[in-house]
Structure 1
Amino acid sequence: MATQTAVPAPIAPAPLKIRRRSPLAWIGDHVLLAATVVIFIFMLLPNAVILVMSFNQPIGKYDYTWNQFSTEAWAHPCANQALCSSMGLSLEIGLIATVVSTALGTMIAFAMVRHRFKARSGINALLFLPMAAPEVVMGATLTALFFNTIGPGSLGFWTITIAHVMFCLSYVVVTVKSRLAGMDPTLERAAQDLYATPTQTFMKVTLPLVAPGIAAAALLAFALSIDDYIITAFTAGQRTTFPMYIFGSVQRSYPAQINVIGSIMLIGTMAIIAVSTILGRMRATRR
């Protein structure tokens, strides 16, 4: 007669103990998120104020307090001819300085990353001097240089442009260098193994990979150029750029058209970022 083996009854698992977190731990987990939100609000609040005040009908010469809603400033953004003239001058200088500094900075970045030469470390250190030096010192130095070279009566459009190129060049080199340093060199070697010429490798592989860094450097150079006041004030002579006009007008009046121009620049920048983001997602989807 076979004996039956008793099967032990399953042991019920011990109930899980829910550990309640202290309020301090919850605060510690959410401090970073809260700080990020506060910082973004702090950064974007002035832009929102500019956009709102551009639809204001001010009383008197200063657009500092809200009076009533009006689209007059948007309908006539160039009511003050000097305002639009200064803006046009800033845009012209900014475009030229952006193109020149981006072209030179990209070539310097390629030379610094792809080649080894004796003065490489010294040049790499010198590139940070324009970024580290105070703008007042750089502006005064450039003024002395231009005074002694071309004379005081020649200060104007081209002296501002040269100064902006010199100022933006370091930022372009650093930005493009960071992009080049993160590139995978095996991609270019693979193109060469497939019998691509150096020109084809550069145009089909290298340039598309570096293009986002070059575009970012160009946008940064343009923003620095069009926004600069200190260096421009030393090298402008009798010319008046948009930042110089705003600084001078605040002492006499502050028309709503200034907020309109600022809002247009803000909307244009957001549109460029949105378009670049959409194009990037479309390219990623196709791949």
Structure 2
Amino acid sequence: MKWYGSFYQNRTLMESLYNTLIIAVVSTVISVIIGTIGAVGMSRYNFKGKRLVDMLLYVPIVIPEIVLGVAMMSVFSMCNMPMGLFTMILGHITFCIPFVVISVRARIAGFDKNLEEAAMDLGANHLKTFMRVTLPLIMPGVISGATLSLSLSLDDVVISFFCSGPGSTTLPLKILEMVKHGVSPEVNALSTIITLVIVVFISLNTQSQIKKMKAVV
């Protein structure tokens, strides 16, 4: 059990965990905001280039990660952007947005537009209708996209490798580096704690969903 107490003292390991959490949370929040707005806009409005934008959304999903990572590194180099947390967040946002858009658009596909029209007939403007009616109804899709983005960002290796810089090493990259010389039991202890946190989160979410279903019944 000593490894559960000693990994807190491993400065490089804790710094990589901190970087991973910061990148994952920030990229997920921004991806959810942009992806949700994009999904609603593409589902409700027709504009020039809509088909092209729709096709481009699938590019980060279809192409290999190493191709996307090299492309991002080339763009950052051309723009003279120093590699670090900022470039890693931009890279993670790029491949997370399509998953949010797909999840939210799937939810909007079964959305009853009459509910929005009823809210507007009762005096609500477009913003209030979206916040009070549309957003709560598509929230399962938003949460699904956020969960996918968070999980993809937490365990990403390839894109993080090409977009990282000094002082921006993430936990997956740190573990990959340690594999060459031997993984310390501290990593096993940290991985166990992360797994337990995820299991507790899933259990609490499942219980809340069961309570909601019982209340509806």
Matched, 1:121 2:27: no
2:95 pairs, out of 163, 167, 177, with 167
Matched, 1:142 2:72: yes
Tell me which amino acid in the other structure corresponds to 2:172.
P
1:194–1:281 CA distance, 2 compared to 1 (3 A): farther
Which residue number corresponds to residue 84 of structure 2?
156
CA deviation digits over 1:112-143, x for unaligned, max 9? 11111221111111100111111111111111
Which residue number corresponds to residue 162 of structure 2?
234
SS of alignment partner, residue 253 of structure 1: coil
1:185 pairs, out of 101, 108, 113, with 113
Which residue number corresponds to residue 14 of structure 2?
84
With normalisation by structure 1, the TM-score equals: 0.71
Which residue number corresponds to residue 186 of structure 2?
257
Q: Relative contact order, CA 8 A, sep 6+: which one is greater? A: 2
CA shift for structure 1 position 150: 1.5
SS of alignment partner, residue 79 of structure 2: helix
Matched, 1:275 2:192: no
Which residue number corresponds to residue 61 of structure 2?
131
- Cα distance in structure 1, aligned partners of 2:195 and 2:94: 26
With normalisation by structure 2, the TM-score equals: 0.92
- Cα distance in structure 1, aligned partners of 2:172 and 2:11: 15
1:244 pairs, out of 160, 168, 173, with 173
Tell me which amino acid in the other structure corresponds to 2:174.
Y
- Cα distance in structure 2, aligned partners of 1:123 and 1:83: 40
RMSD: 1.6
CA shift for structure 1 position 213: 1.1
Tell me which amino acid in the other structure corresponds to 1:212.
P
| Residue pairs, 1:99-114, within 5 angstroms | 99-114=29-44
- Cα distance in structure 1, aligned partners of 2:176 and 2:129: 49
SS of alignment partner, residue 108 of structure 2: helix
Unaligned runs of 5+ in 2: none
CA shift for structure 1 position 230: 0.7
Tell me which amino acid in the other structure corresponds to 2:74.
A
Unaligned runs of 5+ in 1: 1-70
CA shift for structure 1 position 172: 1.2
Comparing 201-210 and 157-166, the one that deviates more: 201-210
| Residue pairs, 1:40-79, within 5 angstroms | 71-79=1-9
